[in-house]
Amino acid sequence: MGNKFMLEVVTPDRAFFKGETDMVILRTTEGDIGILYDHEPLVAPLRTGSMRVRLDDQSYRWAACSSGFMTVSEEKTTVIVDSAEWVDEIDIDRAIEAKKRAEERIHEGREKGVDVMRARLALERAINRIKLREVRK
Amino acid sequence: MGSSTREIKRKIRSVNSTMQITKAFELVSTAKLKRARDRMDITKPYFETIQTAVQDILSADKRIKSKYIASGEQVKPLYIVVTSDRGLCGGYNINAVKKSLEHLKTKDEAKFIVIGKRAYDLLKQHGYNVIDSFLYISEKPEYIHAAQIAKVAMTLYEKGEVDSIHFVYTRFVSTISQLATDLLLLPIDRPEINDDDATTIVNYEPSPEEVFKYIIPKYIESTLYGGLIESSASEQAARRVAMESASDNAEDIIEELTLSFNQARQAAITQEISEIVGGAEALK
């Protein structure tokens, strides 16, 4: 177990996580990145994906995240995302519903003037949730 | 009992029913204020974290050049004004609108995006250039609303139709005091760089420009969202105060009217007695 650092994860509707950990793994637009104690200062955008926080017993706690960004400074690491939920909080029915809806929207796409870009992002989020829920449960 | 006592009685009744309404409004807005404040407490950390993050990035790095950072004079401002859809909340709406017009010299130089029916009506009526409006969201704003507003504003900014974005909302100072505030969203003022502690070199993945392009819209969205939430709390607080003083005022009026009612009644009785006495005297 290495040294611990301060991690703060905030979303618009709640302060998701605030506490100490020795490692967190996040998915940036360039790929997964692990932050350990005393990481050099860094700013990076995040994409829809997962977040892993290492707990005291060396196991990981998984969470699904939407896009956002992270800043690493000397004092603490801050993660700002549009939404985040722990794997056990994921509402699987809602995610499946959202996936279906997004697929339909993409399907009828061009004719009806749907915002395809937005539907794609929604689909990505829904798939991410379903996958995490299934794999990590 | 003459017509004057009846008249006063009618007035008392009317004031009384008005008071019941204002009392009810007061209770409703007290409850809503509680809820709005709870929401504000939840969103505040997010709002503040993003604000500090952007400030930190800007002050830590002098290299970043961007069209989002202040340079030169701004002549085509865009104002995003937050008001309520309903009245009866004291000076809440008018203060916000006045704040947005404070620095305008002519009507044509500025464009407006309004949130709330009050500002929409007021600005339209006076012939201001309202390019978009978001009605019936100000009481319960959601993040998606802020994202929509941000999208409209950013598109205008990207196209060069406006060269600065001002955000006028009402800050929640306390339950009895709210302050209309004009916040410059874009371009961002670069904070004074302190050379002594500018030694930390921050890494940007993949590049500062890319990161910035990504963070700025986020910053705008979240600032708008925070402002919307705060304004909705301010609205309820302003309404509560306005309704409270209306109820107090009604009570004062009723007290006064009751006094003059009693006086009038007493005068009528006295007059009747003296008439009877006078009549009895005359019969002797």
Interval A38-45 mean pLDDT: 88
- B108 is a domain residue: yes
Contact B200 A74 (CB under 8 A): yes
Please tell me the predicted confidence (pLDDT) of residue A53.
Answer: 92
For B30, the domain range is 24-192+201-242
- A23 beta partners: A36
What's the longest Cα–Cα distance across chain A?
A: 56
Chain A residues touching residue B211 (CB < 8 angstroms): 43-45, 69
Interface confidence (ipTM) of the complex: 0.72
- B58 is a domain residue: yes
Chain B residues touching residue A13 (CB < 8 angstroms): 42-43, 143
What is the domain-level CATH number for residue B152?
Answer: 3.40.1380.10
Contact B43 A69 (CB under 8 A): no
Please tell me the predicted confidence (pLDDT) of residue A121.
Answer: 85
Give the pairing type, strands A31-36 and A23-28. Answer: antiparallel
Distance from C-alpha of B44 to C-alpha of A29, rounded to nearest angstrom: 27
Contact B205 A44 (CB under 8 A): yes
- B113 is a domain residue: yes
pLDDT-flagged residues of chain B (< 50): none
Secondary structure element (H or E) that encloses residue B129, with its range: strand B129-134
User: Does residue B218 sit at the A interface (CB-CB below 8 Å)?
Assistant: yes
pLDDT tens-digit profile of B230-258? 999 999 999 999 999 999 999 999 999 99
**What is the four-CA torsion angle of B164, B170, B174, B177, rounded to 10 degrees?**
110
pLDDT tens-digit profile of B42-64? 888 888 888 887 777 777 666 66
**pLDDT-based confidence at A105, cuts 50/70/90?**
confident
HSE on the CB side for A80, CA within 13 Å? 26
Tell me the nearest-neighbour CA distance from B9 into chain A, angstroms.
Answer: 53
Chain B residues touching residue A74 (CB < 8 angstroms): 200
Domains, in order of start, for chain A: 5-87 (2.60.15.10), 91-136 (1.20.5.440)
Cβ contact B230:B172 at 8 Å: yes
- B264 is a domain residue: no
HSE on the CB side for A77, CA within 13 Å? 27
Please tell me the predicted confidence (pLDDT) of residue B1.
Answer: 52
Instruction: Count the domains in chain B.
Output: 1
Burial class of residue B121, CB neighbours in 10 A (0-12, 13-18, 19+): middle
Q: Which residues contact B170 (CB under 8 A, 6 or more apart)?
A: B82, B92, B95, B96, B178, B179, B180, B181, B230, B231, B234, B235, B238
Choose among A10, A29, A41: nearest Cβ to B200.
A41
The residue of chain B nearest to residue A18, with distances taken between CA atoms, is B45
- B259 is a domain residue: no
The residue of chain B nearest to residue A72, with distances taken between CA atoms, is B202
Tell me the nearest-neighbour CA distance from B15 into chain A, angstroms.
Answer: 43
